[in-house]
Amino acid sequence: MSITFNAESGMFHLQTRNMSYIFQVLHGYPAHLYWGRQISEPNPARLLQRIERASFCPTPIPEDRTISLDTLPQEYPGYGSGDLRSPAYAVQLPNGTTVTELLYESHTIMQGKPELEGLPAVYTEQDSEAQTLIITLADKLASLTVELSYTIFEAYDAVIRSARIKNDSTGVMQLTRALTASVDLPHDRFDMLQLSGAWVRERYVHKRPLTPGLQAIESRRGSSSHMNNPFFALLSEGSTEDYGDVYGFSLVYSGSFSAGVEVDQFHTSRAFIGINPFDFSWRLEAGESFQTPEAVMVFSGSGLGTMSQTFHELYRTRLCRGAFRDAVRPILVNNWEATYFNFNADKIEAIAATASELGIEMFVLDDGWFGRRDSDNCSLGDWVVDAKKLPRGLEDLAERVRSHGLEFGLWFEPEMVSPDSDLYRANPDWCLHVPDRRRSEGRKQLILDLSRADVQNYIIEAVSAVLRSAPITYVKWDMNRNMSEIGSALLPPERQRETAHRYMIGLYHVLEQITSAFPHVLFESCSGGGGRFDPGMLYYMPQTWTSDNSDAVSRLRIQYGTSIVYPISTMGAHVSAVPNHQVGRNTPLKTRGDVAMSGNFGYELDLTVFSEAEKEEVMRQVALVKEVRELVQYGTFYRLLSPFEGNETAWMFVSKDQREALVVHVTVLSEPNPPLSRLKLKGLSSDLRYEWVGTGEVVGGDELMHAGVVKPLPHGDYFSSVFRFNAK
């Protein structure tokens, strides 16, 4: 790991173990030269080819017509002074114009990584883990300054970027575009991979070749969304899981975002990611600055799998925080699909008692415990116990659950308010709204205006009061609608388009206060399942409910797609009843367990109605999960067969010392008289011999990887197998 600057050539070289990221100050412009496999002695003259283009590409330097901002690869491009491609930023100056031109002014190289005030970010535990370069760019005529931050880690082939934009003038500037990162790559021979879908169909893998023009993903929904995840990757020609150069871009942010690639007339590619400029602006008074969220940019020279593993380890160990970052997660049962709103203390205790007999470790009480919450049409915001259902309160129920040896957890949806609630009747202006406009409801609820300090303080105190009232050690934090009528009663007209981002800053403040005050609580993020599965939320809550769809076959694609960027330790995965409540499918209990154990394992059904045979299967699953959950949570994850490419799916986990492995294989539909085939494993040691658990066989790691294992012939549809290997 090193960041070096060559004063003679103006070249910055950021090096990790396997990666180089290089740019050069050329006539004051930070010009991007290279990002890829490590180069030991780069020469900027060889890395940047310069020729004179046609007059339609303006040239800012009369004596050097080989430089046009419209063709120069740049680190943080603007618009209006010669570059006619998509800009990274845009500012309306006090005189009403929007033309700016940033030039290099100075730089600083430091050990460690500075925090981003008020925003989630990757962090260091020791300054020796990372180095940070801060480049100061300035437009002296406009009195505009931008600080570009680049951090590299000793252990990861990644560049972490952010930008801070400052108004140094005596007037007011209006920031209308503030992306986090922009990278110009020298060609367009890439496939763009994105994770897109919908509610109960999140993060499906989509891949397409780049073409001239703009190809982008975005959210305008006030959250990262079910529809598109704030991540994309560029895959070089012929790339696979194990081969090829791959560039991954991930935004540490939970609100509306924009990301994508513009391919220009010369087939170069401008990749970008950041806050969505749509319906965004930010008023910068004299002396004020704006901090963008940060982007994590990962390079892999050995395929998509290595990129994923880099994201996994970086996010698991240097994004997630708190006591549960490195602690095994409890096996839980959640009552939602067992009871929905129809429960009482006796029913909850009965489920907990059965769960205890089966070895389950935690009970989570879902929606319906507060206010008059017998359906989803009321009481959000009124975080007081429903005395009709729980006449002796949460503390009594928690103690009844704990008497069976289980921990007790609770569901909240703190960011929402029901129009039929005491909170709304007392404070009708506390929700996002626009004066005299309809207040559109989603799921019969409105969104509290978290840009307001009084609303933030209410949520902090209301949730904290509940957490102080009973021995609660787990919280599921839900958010069940997207934003509409985005406006705030407290912001002046010129700041209304700041509301959505101020909401996110307010949410992060609330999460920081609550999670810091209750470090013994395991927090899980949720937004109708995976509608806010993003790095911003993982900074505060180390796991996310992956999807409201718990069908085992659907989860093959959902969990596979999620694994492209997010660690397995961040995924909530439960066994639910059949026919499945989302898709109506009947799958074997064993298959449901085999799929769910590749995540934070639990159940979402009524255990009290299980037969003895089903209870025996649950006991087997629970015992197996307890044996392998450290491997699942901390091991290296490998994708073997993609559910997007065939009838089978397979994946595996390997311990860091390569002495233990777990393999899961699922066949969706059974076929008559199928051919025999083999499954090649990954990540093992060729020098070790492994015991195939349960068979007595001892097999060399080289054989398991190069010859593979025979796939079992399925007995019926939705057939799963689990293989375990331990080094001798």
At residue 552's C-alpha, the angle toward residues 551 and 558, to 5°, is 85
Amino acid identity for residue 66 in this structure:
T
pLDDT of residue 61: 86
Render pLDDT for 327-372 as a digit per residue (tens, 0 to 9). Answer: 999 999 999 999 999 999 999 999 999 999 999 999 999 999 999 9
> 247, 299 in Cβ contact below 8 A?
yes
Q: How far apart are CA 137 and CA 30, in angstroms?
A: 9
Render pLDDT for 108-142 as a digit per residue (tens, 0 to 9). Answer: 999 999 999 999 999 999 999 999 999 999 999 99
Render pLDDT for 225-282 as a digit per residue (tens, 0 to 9). Answer: 999 999 999 999 999 999 999 999 999 999 999 999 999 999 999 999 999 999 999 9
Amino acid identity for residue 668 in this structure:
V
Q: Which of 139, 478, 534, 594 is catalytic?
A: 478
Q: Where are the beta strands (DSSP E) in 328-386?
A: 332-334, 362-365
Identify the band that residue 92 occupies on the pLDDT scale cut at 50, 70 and 90. very high
> 724, 693 in Cβ contact below 8 A?
yes
What is the mean predicted confidence (pLDDT) over 291-314?
A: 98
Q: Judge if pTM exceeds 0.95.
A: yes
What is the mean predicted confidence (pLDDT) over 470-486?
A: 98
pLDDT of residue 63: 84
DSSP type of residue 675: P
Q: Where are the beta strands (DSSP E) in 428-554?
A: 446-447, 472-477, 522-525, 543-545
Q: What is the DSSP string of 373-406?
A: -SSTTS-TT--SB-TTT-TTHHHHHHHHHHTTT-
Q: How far apart are CA 726 and CA 660, in angstroms?
A: 5
3-state SS, residue 348: helix
3-state SS, residue 330: coil
Q: How far apart are CA 563 and CA 558, in angstroms?
A: 9
pLDDT of residue 62: 86
Q: How far apart are CA 49 and CA 277, in angstroms?
A: 32
Residue 685 Cα distances to 622, 633, 688, angstroms: 29, 20, 5
Q: How far apart are CA 362 and CA 633, in angstroms?
A: 18
Q: Is the pLDDT of residue 526 over 80?
A: yes
pLDDT of residue 193: 98
- What percentage of the chain has pLDDT greater than the value 90? 97
Q: Which residues pair with 600 in a beta bridge?
A: 572
pLDDT of residue 411: 98
Identify the band that residue 54 occupies on the pLDDT scale cut at 50, 70 and 90. confident
pLDDT of residue 168: 97
Q: Is 548 a catalytic residue?
A: yes
Average pLDDT, the chain: 97
Burial environment of residue 510 by CB neighbours within 10 A (0 to 12, 13 to 18, 19 or more): buried
Q: Which of 83, 184, 382, 548 is catalytic?
A: 548
Q: Is 534 a catalytic residue?
A: no
- In 3D space, the residue among 251, 474, 516 whose CA is nearest the CA of residue 365 turns out to be 474
Q: Is the pLDDT of residue 57 over 90?
A: no
Q: Picking from 52-66, 68-82, 138-152, which range would have the lowest pLDDT averaged per residue?
A: 52-66
What is the mean predicted confidence (pLDDT) over 604-609?
A: 97
